[in-house]
Amino acid sequence: MYFRTRIFAISILTVTAVLALVISLSWSRIMTVELTNLDSRLCMEAKRLIPKHTLLDVNNSADNISNLRDTSLSGSRLMTDLTDKLRVSSPNQLMISVGSVEQGFITAPTGGDVQDVISRLHWVSAEPLALTDNNKANAVCQFAFFEHQQNQWRASLFQASNQQSFIAVDVAATTSQLTSTLQAALIVVIPFSLLLSILGAWFIATNTIRPINRLHKAMDKVTQKDLSHRLPEHKEDKEFKMLIDAYNTMLDRLEDSFRQVSRFTADAAHELKTPLTVLRGKLEQAVLSENPSQLDLNAILDEVGHLSAMTRKLLLLSQADSGSMALHFEPINITELVDELIADMTLLSDELELDCEIEKDLITKGDIVLLKQLLNNLLVNVMRYSLTHKVVTIHARQNESVIEVVISNFCLPILNDVRVKLFNRFYRGEPAYTQGISGSGLGLSLAREIARAHGGDLTLEPSESEVVTMRLLLPIVK
């Protein structure tokens, strides 16, 4: 199902449900008010039926009803008046009983059913009335509802002194006019409401789907070769702005990743090209030479070693990028590892002046091979780029819950633009600084990835332009 269709259907169903609920609640409220008013009218009419004089003949209902002059109306006029006031279409939808125990009762319709109905009623409420006649000060009007001949009836019994009057009406008959009015109104209201609901649902669905359509069109423009398309955020609702922000941010990261992969591939090809070219040249020279024994095997072996080291670094960086770097964790004494590497460093370069402060028993948990490569990369850079006869500072200590290794050395002045690129892959700094110095430009990048894979980090600390300070943090294990 299309999203637009789903929104349209949900809108129609919601409006229809609300409309049905409103009509039901309104009809229920109207019926409650109507029945309350009906009770009041029944009580008033029952009170009006009480005769002021004695009935002449209890066995002759027609004559007695015609003699109810005290009620202002009599005989057929009385029934017609009650039929109009109680909004029924026929006297057969009324029950009347007037009289007293001493004088007897007259009923309409004539017969014993009315008295039998009265005897079986359960009066649910009573309303005391204050009459102008002092002899009827204790008058009370009671109400009941009952079922008779499969119809619902409401009744009122008025009692004053020794006389009482009873009047009941068929509820369906008295509310038939109201029901007809409601049906006539619904015939007009329901189609009109449905038409408005359809138009409203179409408007809501169209406006809801519009930003999604724009997003879809923008996504169609994105290709592997062109990730520059972004969605504008102006005039969009807050929810869609969040979605557009997430989409644009995803494209930013995707574009950066593609750019980084492309640059990485180009740099790797360039770095691999040089040793391969050297190897090819030496091999061609050996093939063309009349004396193959003059082949410089040591130079070839150096180039192969350089290729092997670079391949290993590229593999580790690739594993770090994909989060699949293989780590074999074990407790490692950083103090001993740093001391060992410093000793090797001293053997390789006797021109360095070292200022070492290494705390004892700095224990972390990690991969010994990778951590050794991390520290070795840092110290090799110190030996390659440090100025002679300048002090190299190497401090290792516990700083709260981490091991902090700070390596600082003097070098040629480095601009800030160069400093921010030092961790970029294959970046070796300005050519003037690296001339005659071997390297691939992967050491610092790989060292930082190894530190992060161990839950730590490697950062370049702010310092003077002729000083480089690297700060390595590793979690401590106690």
State the DSSP H helix or E strand holding residue 255, giving kind and residue range, or none if neither. helix 238-288
| Phi/psi of residue 137, nearest 5 degrees | -65, -20
The pLDDT value recorded for residue 290 is 67
3-state SS assignment for residue 394 = strand
Q: DSSP E strands: which ranges in 209-367?
A: 330-333, 353-358, 363-366
Cβ neighbours of 4 (radius 10 Å): 16
| Exposure string over 280-315, b if 16+ CB within 10 A, otherwise e | eebeeebeeeeeeeeeeeeebeebeebbeebeebbe
**Residue 335 structure tokens:** 């103090």
Query: What pTM was estimated for this model as a whole?
Result: 0.51
> In the beta sheet, which residues pair with residue 457?
473
User: Mind listing the domains of the chain with CATH numbers?
Assistant: 1-51+73-128+137-221 (no CATH), 238-320 (1.10.287.130), 327-475 (3.30.565.10)
DSSP 223: B
Cα–Cα distance list, 106 to 49, 57, 66, 284, 422 (Å): 11, 9, 11, 138, 115
Helix axes 334-348, 368-385, angle to 10 degrees: 40
Rg (alpha carbons) of the chain, rounded to whole number: 51
Burial of 108 (0-12, 13-18, 19+ CB in 10 A): buried
Question: CA angle, 340 as apex, 337 and 345 as ends, to 5°?
Answer: 125
The pLDDT value recorded for residue 414 is 86
The pLDDT value recorded for residue 402 is 92
C-alpha 322/C-alpha 104 separation (Å) is 105
Antiparallel, parallel or unpaired: β 402-410 and 391-399: antiparallel
Task: Please say whether the beta carbons of 166 and 97 come within 8 A.
Answer: yes
**Residue 446 structure tokens:** 């790989």
In degrees to the nearest 10, what's the CA dihedral of 21, 27, 30, 31? -130
Task: Please say whether the beta carbons of 363 and 333 come within 8 A.
Answer: yes
DSSP 418: H
C-alpha 161/C-alpha 139 separation (Å) is 7
The pLDDT value recorded for residue 294 is 61
**Residue 11 structure tokens:** 């809108």
Task: Please say whether the beta carbons of 470 and 460 come within 8 A.
Answer: yes
Task: Please say whether the beta carbons of 51 and 163 come within 8 A.
Answer: yes
C-alpha 232/C-alpha 287 separation (Å) is 63
**Residue 409 structure tokens:** 């050395």
C-alpha 410/C-alpha 138 separation (Å) is 116
Cα–Cα distance list, 13 to 2, 4, 7, 19, 200 (Å): 17, 14, 10, 10, 12
> What sections of 323-429 are H helices per DSSP?
334-348, 368-385, 416-419
**For residue 439, what are the contacts with CB-CB under 8 A and spacing of at least 6?**
384, 428
C-alpha 167/C-alpha 88 separation (Å) is 13
Each of the 478 residues of the chain gets a pLDDT tens digit; together they read 777 788 888 888 888 898 889 989 998 998 888 888 888 888 888 888 876 544 444 455 555 555 554 444 445 677 788 888 888 888 888 888 888 777 777 777 765 577 788 888 888 776 666 555 555 456 788 888 888 888 889 899 888 777 888 888 888 887 777 888 888 888 888 888 888 888 888 888 888 888 788 778 877 877 767 777 787 776 777 777 888 888 888 888 888 888 777 777 777 777 777 778 878 887 887 777 766 666 677 777 877 887 888 788 778 877 777 777 778 889 999 999 999 999 888 887 777 788 999 999 899 999 998 899 899 989 988 888 888 878 999 999 998 889 999 999 998 888 888 888 888 887 877 776 666 676 777 888 889 989 999 999 999 999 888 899 999 999 988 7
